[in-house]
Amino acid sequence: MRTLFLGKAVHWLVLAVVMAILWWLGTNLVQTRNYNLFLTILFLVTVGAVAAIVVTTRKGEQVTREPFEDQPGD
């Protein structure tokens, strides 16, 4: 399973939390009733998710299925 689901369990937890927040926003029609609040929550969730993944990933750790090719000049 580790080769199928790359990344740490905390990364998958972040995905589940983001999906739950988006589901809650959608069921409460926040995007139509209070668009500014929706955009603010969306922005904060995005920044929080990216920060959580960046902070919990060590430099050089594989996070994609195939490694990136080295670019010229690196």
List alpha helices for 28-73, DSSP H: 30-33, 35-56
Average pLDDT over residues 54-71: 74
Asked whether the predicted pLDDT for residue 74 surpasses 60, the reply is: no
Cα(40)–Cα(43) distance, integer angstroms: 5
What is the chain's mean pLDDT, rounded? 85
User: How many residues are listed for the chain in this entry?
Assistant: 74
Place 11 in a pLDDT band, splitting at 50, 70 and 90.
Answer: confident
Model confidence, pTM: 0.73
For residue 23, pLDDT over 90 is answered with yes
Asked if the model's pLDDT at residue 36 lies above 60, the reply is: yes
DSSP label at residue 67: P
